[in-house]
Amino acid sequence: MAELTPNRQEGLEAWDQFFRSNQHIFRHSPTLIFQQAANDIESSPTAIAAKKIAEVRLEKRTWFRILNKPRTASPCLMTLAAHSTTVAACSFSPDGKFALTASGDQTLKLWDASTGEELATLRGHSAPVWDCSFSPDGDRIISASWDKTLKLWDLKTCREIRTFQGHTEEVIACAFSPDGKTIASASRDGTLRLWDGLTGAVKFVLNGNSGWVNDCSFSPDGRRIVSAFFDGTLKIWDTNNGRALAALPGHSESGMDQTVNSCMFSHDGNLIVSTSWDKTIKLWDAHTGKELRTLRGHSDIVNACAFSPDDRRIVSASEDQTLRLWETQTGREIAALRGHNWGIFDCHFSPDGKRIVSAGEDSARIWNAEVASDGAPLNAHADRVTCCAFSPSGQHIATASRDKTLKLWEADTGKERLILKGHAKEVNACAFSPDGTRIVSASNDHTLKIWDAASGSEIMTLRGHAHWVTCCAYSPDGRTILSSSLDKTIKLWEAETGRIRRTLIGHTDRVSYCSFSPDGQKIVSASHDRSIRIWDAETGREGASLEGHAEAAGSASYSPDGSMIISNGHRIIKIWEAQSGREIRQVKGHPGWVTRCCFSPDNQTIASVGDKHLILWNVDTGAQRAECWFEGIISVAWRPDARFLAVGRANGLMHILKIENQEPGIPVLTAMQMEQLACGCPFCRVWSEVSERDLGKDILCPHCRQPLKLNPFPIRADWRRVASGWSSGRPHRTLQ
């Protein structure tokens, strides 16, 4: 057999890594192999191969091309995604061959740490399993559960050996002593227990009188154990007699957010590391109890930490969805690893220090620990992207985030233009004015803000809601701003003055979404009271109430021609006839929860997002047209030409997607009238005058000759002002 050349060997290794890192996707959707390869980093053998296939048109299916994909490879080597709910804990075996995960689904799973193959599922607990660990010899596993027990398992058979009973509340953490003869457990009953690992007998019950015990860790010689308490302290105990040796109170000085979540001895026994609700990691002298330094960088609660085998690095896991690597000696942050889409609960180094395993709300992951970059763009939001919105001309994208900011991006390149700062809490929604010169945002700080889209400066703040503001929109004529809130109301505001025009009351629970009809005469709202309601925008009177969702309604919006309304519950999308309120059809099949759905500008396609999926559906049949896998996808918006989408994710990323192998229909536009009629083309972004006889018909843009469809009704507004905002003073053209 001929030997592989270095280039060929490198190519095979790249393909092998590609399939390992995407196996959790291909297990569910094997048809996405081409799409995932095409969206790999540009220089990878997988992306090069996909590009060649696309060039000769061998791929016939509709697929999504990510225009602003990362330029460097992700350090995430593989995703372990077989648990049905939160993965609370993880661990490597002493030889590094296996990974172990514990989950809220009441099971543990054993994995091949090299391939990501699921090897076994350990069942026996009757409540969430919150911690797990291998014995030092690698022959046994210990697990801790909310069922108030620990269980000891045989690794070879994956069968239960013994159940440890005695705690009176949930058991949160467990650990083997270095010689494997003693097991420690930490519980919400306020005690730390030491058990005989062979007989199951209780050796000591250690009560720190400090509330819940969140974690425990043995010193390398087994003579001491450190525990983390709810009151913000750590305590060190003598394992021979159960006496308390020292208390470390540093985290408790941070006030309310003081709970210590995790703790660990260094492998040489000289240091202790701890993490807390105060968003910090602290290093302590294990012999004197002196606080040595505080590591800051996480933006949310830090749940876990671990030393590398040589003690030179520390890894930490946080609710901010990142793992961070730190230099132990200096406390300097080395890298932030992004990939999880929700909070991360646990992390550990492999025995050789080359990999990290992490457990989070979405999955478990194995990472390359020898990295200096996280593979994510530097301009990503620091928290989940709650909303995306294209400007009416399609030139820009605005994103809102839980990091309290908005960002403005160039839609053609994905380049960040502006950061809008001013909200005191999470930003839930954003929308452009019809001329694209202003942006309105809605926040958990109970306010809306209006921003200048050119400079990013704040113009005014709208106050009036008594709770979080969930959604916002401009009316088609730009004169009114619409908002919804957890205070169960919808408000109409004068866009120029910020004065409240009207408050719409009728929903019996929080209102999650609101939007105008294309002619601006109606408002549709979605609520946790399970109803979709239609309102008269002029009078504020409630019209029809669309009942039928069996769960909270997440969003509702009109089709571009105003004939239909689309809404979603957690798992079902409904299409309604706007005039009568009659349900036309249900669209079923979106895996997991649907967070948002909307019509395409050509009225032919529905986009739905939620959980891990973006799916396109045929409006007329409800059949699926295309799928894209994005973990933690939350928001979606169409570009006005119906050829591109923007999506926002829980990890702070916004992606611009081009729809390939699908010929878009004709965009549906609503003309504006102020003396003359005119409409703006979403392709060339030029405004053109039209005549009344063109309303309700298909026309050609006189500038670029692209087909356009006009609604039969116009909007009374100054289109020249809108055109100026769109095209920066470019001359308009007149249809003959």
Q: What token pair was written down for 717?
A: 């507004």
Task: Note whether 524 and 544 are within 8 A (CB).
Answer: no
Closest CA to 350 of 306, 319, 295: 306
d(CA 442, CA 285): 47
Closest CA to 276 of 311, 246, 252, 297: 252
pLDDT in tens, 678-688: 999 999 999 99
d(CA 20, CA 26): 10
State the average pLDDT for the chain: 93
Average pLDDT of span 173-180: 97
Lowest mean pLDDT among 24-33, 498-507, 574-583, 708-717: 24-33
The reported pLDDT for the residue numbered 611 is 82
Closest CA to 67 of 660, 630, 656, 637: 656
Q: How many CB atoms lie within 10 A of CB 709?
A: 18
Closest CA to 91 of 228, 264, 209, 250: 264
pLDDT in tens, 567-614: 999 889 999 999 999 999 999 989 888 999 999 999 999 999 998 899
d(CA 572, CA 588): 6
The reported pLDDT for the residue numbered 251 is 82
730 band by pLDDT with thresholds 50, 70 and 90: very low
d(CA 609, CA 594): 6
Task: Note whether 293 and 273 are within 8 A (CB).
Answer: no
pLDDT in tens, 205-250: 999 777 899 999 999 999 999 999 999 999 999 999 999 999 998 7
The reported pLDDT for the residue numbered 2 is 47
Task: Note whether 426 and 399 are within 8 A (CB).
Answer: no
Residue in the structure block whose two tokens are 């939001």: 381
Q: Work out the angle at residue 89's Cα, subtended by the Cα atoms of residues 88 and 95, and round it to the nearest 5 degrees.
A: 160
pLDDT in tens, 241-267: 999 999 998 786 655 568 999 999 999
Q: Please name the residues in contact with 574: beta carbons below 8 A apart, sequence gap of 6 or more.
A: 546, 548, 549, 566, 567, 568, 583, 585, 586, 587
The reported pLDDT for the residue numbered 258 is 81
**pLDDT at residue 397 tops 80:** yes
Residue 8's φ and ψ, nearest 5 degrees, are -70, -40
> Which residue ranges does the chain devote to CATH 2.130.10.10?
76-368, 397-600
Burial pattern 540-565, b for ≥16 Cβ within 10 A else e, equals: bebebebebbeebbbbbbbbbbbebb
How distant is the alpha carbon of residue 306 from its chain centre?
25
Task: Note whether 82 and 101 are within 8 A (CB).
Answer: no
**pLDDT at residue 369 tops 70:** yes
Average pLDDT of span 509-528: 98
Q: Work out the angle at residue 495's Cα, subtended by the Cα atoms of residues 489 and 500, and round it to the nearest 5 degrees.
A: 40
pLDDT in tens, 348-360: 999 999 999 999 9
13 band by pLDDT with thresholds 50, 70 and 90: confident
Q: Please name the residues in contact with 345: beta carbons below 8 A apart, sequence gap of 6 or more.
A: 86, 87, 88, 89, 303, 304, 317, 359, 360, 361
Residue 171's φ and ψ, nearest 5 degrees, are -95, 125
d(CA 126, CA 107): 9
Task: Note whether 385 and 653 are within 8 A (CB).
Answer: yes
d(CA 401, CA 653): 10
Q: Please name the residues in contact with 562: beta carbons below 8 A apart, sequence gap of 6 or more.
A: 517, 518, 519, 522, 578, 711, 713
The reported pLDDT for the residue numbered 663 is 85
Average pLDDT of span 371-382: 66
d(CA 587, CA 574): 6
In 247-332, which residue ranges form alpha helices assigned H by DSSP?
Answer: none
DSSP 689-710: EE-GGGTTSEEE-TTT--EEEE
The reported pLDDT for the residue numbered 736 is 29
CATH superfamily of the domain spanning 76-368: YVTN repeat-like/Quinoprotein amine dehydrogenase (2.130.10.10)
**pLDDT at residue 177 tops 50:** yes
SS (H, E, C) 59-111: CCCCEEEECCCCCCCCCEEEEECCCCCCEEEEEECCCCCEEEEEECCCEEEEE
Q: What token pair was written down for 345?
A: 């609960």
The domain defined by 397-600 carries CATH number 2.40.33.10: no
Task: Note whether 70 and 111 are within 8 A (CB).
Answer: no
How distant is the alpha carbon of residue 598 from its chain centre?
19
pLDDT in tens, 120-141: 999 999 999 999 999 999 999 9
The reported pLDDT for the residue numbered 236 is 96
The reported pLDDT for the residue numbered 71 is 82
What share of the chain has pLDDT > 70, as a percent? 96
Q: Indicate the DSSP class of residue 326.
A: E
Going edge to edge, which strands form the sheet with 234-238? 213-218, 224-229, 234-238, 244-248
What share of the chain has pLDDT > 90, as a percent? 85
- The more confidently predicted of residues 588 and 2 is 588
Q: How many CB atoms lie within 10 A of CB 426?
A: 19
**pLDDT at residue 728 tops 70:** no
Q: What token pair was written down for 39?
A: 């969206």
The reported pLDDT for the residue numbered 733 is 40
**pLDDT at residue 377 tops 60:** no
The reported pLDDT for the residue numbered 732 is 37
Task: Note whether 358 and 364 are within 8 A (CB).
Answer: yes
pLDDT in tens, 321-339: 999 999 999 999 999 998 8
Task: Note whether 387 and 400 are within 8 A (CB).
Answer: yes
Going edge to edge, which strands form the sheet with 107-112? 87-92, 98-103, 107-112, 118-123
d(CA 478, CA 67): 31
